[in-house]
Amino acid sequence: MKRLNLILSVAFMLCGFVVLAQPSSEMPPNGEAGKCYAKCLIADQYETTTEQVETKAAGVRTEVIPAAYENVTEQVVAKAAASRMEVIPAEYETVTEQVMVSPEKTRLVAVPAEYESYTETVESKAASTRLEVIPATYETVTEQVEVSPAKTRLIAIPAEYGTETEQVVAKAASTRIEVIPASYENVSEQYEAEPASTRIETLAPRFETVTERIETRPASTKWVKKRADRNCLSADPNDCQVWCLVEVPAEYKTVSKQVNKGCAGGDGSPNSNCTKEVTIPAKYATRTSRVMKTPPSEKVVEIPAEYATVTKTVLKTPATTREETTPAVFKTVSRKVVKTPATTRTIEIPAEFQTVTKTRLKTPATTREEKTPAVFKTVSRRIVKTPAQSRSIEIPAEYATVSKRVVKAAAQTRSIDVPAEYATVTKRNLVKQGGFTEWREVVCGSNITTEMVRSVQRALSSRGYDPGPIDNVLGAQTKAALMKYQRDNNLPVGQMDFETLKSLGVNF
């Protein structure tokens, strides 16, 4: 690959030099060895003419005749006529009259009832009958009577009790639910702040320095384009091109170049194996968080029973009964027995009477109608003599005198012909197009001497062109004066050609 590139480079350079050595349309025709030629700018050739030109065409302009105004005075309505309603108030007079203070009314008066006393005999106790008891008659008899029959009785044998002490449950055992709160702790943990990734990294290839000597130019003659030298009058080297036909010996050049051998592990071709995938590890950061160590829970708490010491009487021997027989007891008693049973008889009891005094109604209670006469008083009050009314009052219009400007003559327009305007102008007409069109023999740079430069500076100064100080140096001011002289005299511009020197009268 290296050898192929070298061969192609040399072949390209040789081809270029061959082209330069052969005459072409870009080279001066019939050039002679040892002479220099330049494709100089031939200035444009002008002729000066004077003519009348129309600077402004004839036209028509419209002129506005403003409206004419005059001041007039007139009466205008400042306030329009109107009418208003005027209220005529009512008229009052004072009159005296009797007014009822309290109206006549009737009320019922109660007349009490009358009573009288009288005496009468009333039955205080009604006649009745009563039963009179005729008592029975008795006689005494003696007999044996059983005073107490034979009987058996159960005798209660009381139970026997003893005292003992024992523990009794004062409060029964129970359970309660106790909430155990969750417990927390601070935990520090590593987290992935930036995930792992990969990037493609380009490695710098290895270069080898290869040095070889190649023929850059065979021996020949060629047209050499001279760049800006003392002979160039323009600051821009492209304003003039100088070509010299010179004999050129073969040239050689030692070329050192860097050959890209790729990277380690490559096949030796340029940039082989010069990229690699680099793994960027993940970045971790530490964060502290509060986490639940144990969740909230519940536990059953046993509440033990509470006991109290009590003393109580307990049954030691239960109560029982035993049967005891009591024999009957007899005694001799005397008792009365009915000889004749008791009977009844009816006895008449006469009624009893007494005298009482009672009140009876003589005249029942009634009502009578009692009239209360009306009460009057004298009052004075205002009464309407003439009722209020309204009437329409005409309000006359009000006028004011005003002055105003009125159009006396309306604005109008008129057309005015505007004649064309002419001016006398001096023009430079191009007679011959200039440019890089002609090759001219110029003084080669090696042949420009200080004496020639001094002669040119003196010639320019004598013709009114300021070349600066006569210092034998083809400086910027001298070049500018020479180029101005060439343009003013239609000479080729840009080089110290023989035609310019001849025009200046400088020997060469």
Q: Which residue has the higher pLDDT, 443 or 467?
A: 467
Is the model's pLDDT at 436 over the cut of 60? Answer: no
* Pair 500, 492: CB distance under 8 Å: yes
Is the model's pLDDT at 505 over the cut of 90? Answer: yes
* 265 φ/ψ sector (left φ>0, alpha ψ -120 to 50, else beta): left
Count how many residues are written for the chain.
508
Is the model's pLDDT at 481 over the cut of 90? Answer: yes
Task: Write b or e for each residue in 195-217: b if 16 or more Cβ atoms lie within 10 A of its Cβ, otherwise e.
Answer: eeeeeeeeeebeeeeeeeeeeeb
CA proximity to 489, closest of 455, 469, 459, 468: 459
Task: Write b or e for each residue in 261-292: b if 16 or more Cβ atoms lie within 10 A of its Cβ, otherwise e.
Answer: bbbeebeeeeebebeeeeeeeeeeeeeeeeee
pLDDT for position 76: 65
* DSSP H or E segment with residue 487: helix 476-488
Range from 12-26, 352-366, 447-461 carrying the lowest mean pLDDT: 12-26
pLDDT for position 338: 75
* Pair 91, 392: CB distance under 8 Å: no
pLDDT for position 62: 65
- pLDDT level of residue 329 (50, 70, 90 thresholds): confident
- pLDDT level of residue 20 (50, 70, 90 thresholds): very low
Amino acid sitting at position 365 = A
Q: Is 95 helix (H, G, I), strand (E, B) or coil?
A: strand
| Residues 68-94, mean pLDDT to the nearest whole number | 76
User: What proportion of the chain, given as a percentage, has pLDDT over 90?
Assistant: 7
| Residues 46-68, mean pLDDT to the nearest whole number | 72
The model carries a pTM of: 0.27
pLDDT digits (tens, 9 = 90+) for 184-219: 888 888 888 788 888 888 888 888 888 888 887 677
- 135 phi/psi in degrees, rounded to 5: -65, 155
User: What proportion of the chain, given as a percentage, has pLDDT over 70?
Assistant: 82
- pLDDT level of residue 502 (50, 70, 90 thresholds): very high
pLDDT for position 1: 43
DSSP string, 226-248: E-S-TTB-SSSGGG-EEEEEEEE
Please report, for residues 245, 279, 486, the alpha-carbon distance to residue 493 in angstroms, rounded to integers and kept in the order given: 22, 69, 6
| Chain centroid to CA 440 | 80
Token pair for 133 = 């008891």
Q: Kindly list the domain boundaries of the chain, sorted by start residue.
A: 2-53+218-256+428-504
Interacting residues of 4 by C-beta distance below 8 A, sequence separation 6+? none
Range from 161-170, 216-225, 361-370, 388-397 carrying the lowest mean pLDDT: 216-225
Is the model's pLDDT at 9 over the cut of 50? Answer: no
pLDDT for position 11: 35
C-alpha to C-alpha distance for 330 and 335, rounded to whole angstroms: 15
Please report, for residues 120, 125, 193, 355, the alpha-carbon distance to residue 358 in angstroms, rounded to integers and kept in the order given: 8, 18, 127, 10
Amino acid sitting at position 73 = T
Q: Is the dihedral of CA 15, 16, 21, 27 positive or negative?
A: positive
* Pair 491, 38: CB distance under 8 Å: no
Measured from the Cβ of residue 226, the count of other Cβ atoms closer than 10 Å reads 19
pLDDT digits (tens, 9 = 90+) for 347-370: 888 888 888 787 777 787 777 777
C-alpha to C-alpha distance for 241 and 156, rounded to whole angstroms: 170
* Pair 109, 316: CB distance under 8 Å: no
C-alpha to C-alpha distance for 27 and 20, rounded to whole angstroms: 9
| Residues 456-469, mean pLDDT to the nearest whole number | 94
pLDDT for position 390: 67
| Residues 63-72, mean pLDDT to the nearest whole number | 78
Is the model's pLDDT at 280 over the cut of 50? Answer: yes
pLDDT for position 454: 93
- pLDDT level of residue 2 (50, 70, 90 thresholds): very low
Measured from the Cβ of residue 469, the count of other Cβ atoms closer than 10 Å reads 11
Please report, for residues 36, 491, 496, the alpha-carbon distance to residue 456 in angstroms, rounded to integers and kept in the order given: 19, 15, 10
Give the bridge partners for 328, in sequence order: none
- pLDDT level of residue 22 (50, 70, 90 thresholds): very low
Q: Which residue has the higher pLDDT, 406 or 453?
A: 453
Q: What is the mean pLDDT of the chain?
A: 77
Q: Is 456 helix (H, G, I), strand (E, B) or coil?
A: helix
Give the bridge partners for 233, in sequence order: none
| Residues 440-464, mean pLDDT to the nearest whole number | 88
Give the bridge partners for 259, in sequence order: 208
- 18 phi/psi in degrees, rounded to 5: -60, -40
- pLDDT level of residue 6 (50, 70, 90 thresholds): very low
pLDDT for position 435: 55
pLDDT digits (tens, 9 = 90+) for 138-155: 888 887 877 778 878 778
- pLDDT level of residue 224 (50, 70, 90 thresholds): low
DSSP string, 104-145: -EEEEEEE--EEEEEEEEEEEE--EEEEEEE--EEEEEEEEE
